[in-house]
């Protein structure tokens, strides 16, 4: 059975909710999955898993969620050759069209530089500020994770 870790950073709860949907899809696809808040995760843990899935919302002018910044910096010193990876995150395209989910791109770039292979399309989920994640978005994320599980 493949193993995966889902590491998320969440300020408003949207990314945490999406991480739960990722977990559901992976479990449905028979992947042994661990979900952790980025504040409780060390980069050295990543090498213990077959697949690394990172999730962050985008803030300001395209920055990572605050809790993810130190983890992202430490990740630069890790080698992840032979690991599979995927990235996801919420954003508000209507309010921030120029920076929509750029944190997702930032995470994918870092994983690639560490030697991991991105094995699923980057998942960028539209969420409106203050309204949370709707059922359709949760189902989209779950389906994405199930497809990811089948590729492992």
Domain residue limits at 127? 3-151
Q: How far apart (Å, rounded) are the C-alpha atoms in residues 101 and 137? A: 14
Question: Are 90 and 15 spatial neighbours (Cβ–Cβ below 8 Å)?
Answer: yes
pLDDT band at residue 115, thresholds of 50, 70 and 90?
very high
State the total domains in the chain: 1
What CATH code is carried by the domain that includes residue 140? 3.40.50.360
How many Cα atoms within 13 Å fall on the side-chain side of residue 30? 4
pLDDT band at residue 5, thresholds of 50, 70 and 90?
very high
Give residue-wise pLDDT tens across range 27-69. Answer: 999 999 999 999 999 999 999 999 999 999 998 888 999 999 9
Give the other-Cβ count within 10 Å of 66's Cβ: 15
Give residue-wise pLDDT tens across range 69-83. Answer: 999 999 999 999 999
Question: Are 4 and 34 spatial neighbours (Cβ–Cβ below 8 Å)?
Answer: yes
Helix ranges restricted to H, 5-152:
14-28, 68-75, 102-113, 135-151
């Amino acid at each position: 059975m493949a193993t995966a870790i889902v590491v998320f950073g969440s300020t408003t709860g949207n990314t945490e909710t999406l991480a739960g949907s990722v977990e559901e899809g992976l479990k449905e696809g028979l992947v042994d999955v661990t979900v952790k808040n980025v504040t409780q995760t060390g980069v050295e843990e990543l090498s213990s898993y077959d697949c690394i899935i990172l999730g962050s919302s985008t803030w300001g002018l395209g920055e990572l969620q605050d809790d993810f910044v130190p983890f992202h910096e430490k990740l630069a010193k890790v080698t992840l050759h032979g690991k599979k990876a995927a990235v996801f995150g919420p954003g508000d395209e209507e309010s921030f069209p120029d920076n929509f989910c750029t944190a997702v791109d930032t995470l994918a770039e870092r994983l690639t530089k560490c030697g991991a292979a991105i094995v699923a399309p980057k998942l960028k989920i539209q969420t409106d500020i203050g309204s949370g994640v709707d059922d359709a978005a949760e189902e989209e994320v779950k389906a994405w994770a199930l497809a990811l599980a089948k590729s492992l």
